[in-house]
Amino acid sequence: MNPDFLKELEVQRGYLLRVARLQLRDTALAEDVVQDTLAAALAAQDGFTGKSSVKTWLTGILKHKIVDAIRRKQREPVAVSTLDEEADLEDFEGLFKENGAWSAPPADWGDPEQSLSRQQFFDIMQFCLEKLPPNTARVFMMREVMELESDEICKELTITANNLWVILYRARMSLRECLELNWFGKRGQA
């Protein structure tokens, strides 16, 4: 067994756990899924060609494990009803005036790309992701981290395309607002 490889897996474990926890909202289940992922990675380490980073490769394995876990979890009826609630457009009314104009207009973030080289930015991002409603976070992570296509997500979660768009819109609006309040408003310009 290659000790460097083991060390690398240990380094990535924290990231994998954060991603799994955000999507599953169940710490014990997230631990199980990450454990499975690392075991699968160890068993398949010869399959790792080094073409992608270890992180990307592990995320690929994690993706399948999470989808399996969600598929099993989805048989619990509670998840579906809260999903419907989170797919409701009515909540957005407060963000816009009666005539559809912004009531709290988005600010100019200047040159936001500069933030991407700072670890603190990603800590704030993590904080904002954790503030999303559970199913909203799950759908957003499936789309943006697991890079699943819309129809795959709809099929896994048995929601309509329209529900999916509303949930992703909600996630983006909320993340945008959270980043503006906690990062760009305070220090982004600094």
Number of residues that bind another protein (CB under 8 A): 40
Which one of residues 11, 42, 44, 161 is an interface residue with another protein (CB under 8 A)?
161
Amino acid at 148: L
SS3 content of the chain, % helix, strand, coil (to 5): 75, 0, 25
Q: Which stretch, 26-34, 35-43, 78-86, 107-115, contacts another protein (CB under 8 A)?
A: 107-115
Q: Is residue 148 classed as helix, strand or coil in its secondary structure? A: coil
Give the angle subtended at the CA of 66 by the CAs of 61 and 71, to the nearest 5°.
130
A 10 A CB-CB count for 153 gives 22
- Residues 6 or more apart whose CB falls under 8 angstroms from that of 69 comprise 24, 29, 32, 33
Among 76, 105, 119, 190, which residue sits at the site for another protein (rule: CB under 8 A)?
Answer: 105
Binding to another protein (CB under 8 A) within 11-50 occurs at 19
Using alpha carbons only, give the angle 187, 23, 158 rounded to the nearest 5 degrees.
125
Choose, by CB under 8 A, the member of 68, 96, 181, 189 that binds another protein: 96
Is residue 54 at the binding interface for another protein, with CB under 8 A as the rule?
A: no
Choosing from 4, 49, 100, 190, the residue that interacts with another protein (CB under 8 A) is: 100
Q: Tokens 């490769």 map to which residue?
A: 57
65 in contact with another protein (CB under 8 A): no
Interface residues with another protein (CB under 8 A) are: 19, 53, 55-56, 59, 92, 95-96, 99-102, 105-109, 112-113, 115-116, 121-122, 125, 143-145, 147, 150, 161, 164-165, 168-169, 172-173, 175-176, 179-180
